Structure 1
């Protein structure tokens, strides 16, 4: 790019930033690549292996997540749950195996940001909301296409984008707290806000790590309702240790042990599985 071309681009950007009444190009949501789910499978994890200094964290892992399903992943500490999510989201590269979003997007050929833009969202166990901003501002900043705080607050949202934020606020039970600083929310409310921030990016696959850790029983019930409401519109994978909560949301459960799938099925089926009883439930 020549100096003249660069100057013109900077001039155009500067003009945009002085016009509050316009919707700027950086607020236009990114389009996710077309995901081929003709076989009703959104996520393929096949033959994946990963070792750390001789310790095999993932051992020939095969996992398939259907489009629109809510799947719970359980297992003892060290079973490979976090490493599995790290591999899916591009944080960790496996030693071997394949990971595909649909049947046409190779996640192992992409970096973390590309995977997020392809439609994979992840919520970590500890909420990572921006506490000095309001609930509304957190959702606005998380919106697909927005990249910087300053640029976000200089732009004007479209009616459609405002409707999106308002609908997410209702969904995450924070419609009455839109103007509240995120730092003043309860622990459970921060968890909901972070889920809402992921929803602003329109993910096809949502990975949620221990969403009810530290929550009250009332917050757990509302979180169960929230996650159940997402199924069908999104594929949701929940890693959780609380068995009562898992039972409240999951029709399908996968048990990991030593980096591979030990059992899969309904909650009743996995709880009655003899190997699950031995290695996880301690019976």
Structure 2
């Protein structure tokens, strides 16, 4: 079944091109065909996104400037289904701006950003992108501190959020199982009644990741998840992210190199809004360009 986000994108795309077809013999012939969906209901399609090789996120030729400063400069980035990708780079490299573009907060001047072959993220707003399956966790945890851990996860479930729906909401057995599953994943099953404000810093970070998981995202963008954590919390966060890879694609932006080493399969290095290097951790560490701009050597 076609998702709502995909349907809306298809209708929007075809509505823009409908005036070009209206009045043409091809358009009216299309209306009488019974062997296929009307062309004006078909979503856009990007053949450059190679889903056969598992590609999920496609970012190509993206640039954006702020008051003459090029924050992102011809950025190309490709993330596969189930991949855990680490993004590193010095301050000002464009890491946050890159995530802002993917989530619809910032519009680039040029380039393409697709989720799969049919969702053009540049034609969607932030809410539509979130509903399409992209979740973002910021560096500072944002949880409802006056509510319990369970209530935070319950409020984060995908579905209708209007006042009437919330007033009438009763958790189904399946939804309760989803919450319990996420509680176990994030290691807070024994704290489900605790107010979120009483959790440690690391536990709040895990709860926020859990809140994103309740929305069943395809892609998770995680910004500096271990900043301010103890070594024990860092180890637990490493285990958590590794356990999520495979079921979700995960992009982790982080400065702590020990943590990156503990989870990284592929590392992308950004510098001046562009991909400077990409590869295995050892390859990145041995790259003289990376040593110069990132490690100061």
Q: For the residues of structure 2 that align with 1:169 and 1:127, how far apart are their CA atoms?
A: 17
Question: Where in structure 2 are there 5+ consecutive unaligned residues?
Answer: 8-44
**4+ long deviations beyond 6 Å:** none
Tell me the distance in 1 between the aligned counterparts of 2:271 and 2:123. 27
Corresponding position of 2:63: 49
Query: Is the contact made by 1:140 and 1:152 (CA closer than 8 Å) also made in structure 2?
Result: no
Q: 5 Å matches for 1:101-112? A: 101-112=115-126
Match of 1:156 among 153, 170, 174: 170
* Distance apart, 1:125 and its partner CA: 0.3
Deviation at 1:57, TM superposition (A): 0.3
Structure 2 partner of 1:19: none
Q: Which has the higher contact order (CA 8 A, sep 6+)?
A: 1
**Counterpart in the other structure of 2:199:** 185
Shift of 1:131: 0.3
Does the CA-based 8 Å contact 2:5-2:128 persist in structure 1?
A: no
C-alpha separation in 2, matches of 1:225 and 1:32? 32
> CA distance change for structure 1 residues 173 and 32 in 2, over 3 Å: closer, same or farther?
farther
TM-aligned CA deviation for residue 155 of structure 1:
1.6
Residues 208 and 239 in structure 1, CA contact (< 8 A), matched pair in contact too: yes
Q: Where does structure 1 lack aligned partners over 5 or more consecutive residues?
A: 1-29
Secondary structure of 2:252's counterpart equals: strand
Which residue of the partner structure matches residue 147 of structure 2?
A: 133
Q: Secondary structure at the match of 1:38?
A: helix
CA distance in 2, matches of 1:41, 1:151: 36
Q: TM-score, normalised by structure 2?
A: 0.83
Q: For 2:181, which of 167, 174, 186 is the aligned residue?
A: 167
Alignment of 1:1-283 (within 5 A): 33=6, 37-147=51-161, 151-152=165-166, 154-283=168-297
Of the structure 1 ranges 178-187 and 34-43, higher mean CA displacement relative to structure 2 is found in 34-43
The number of aligned residues is: 254
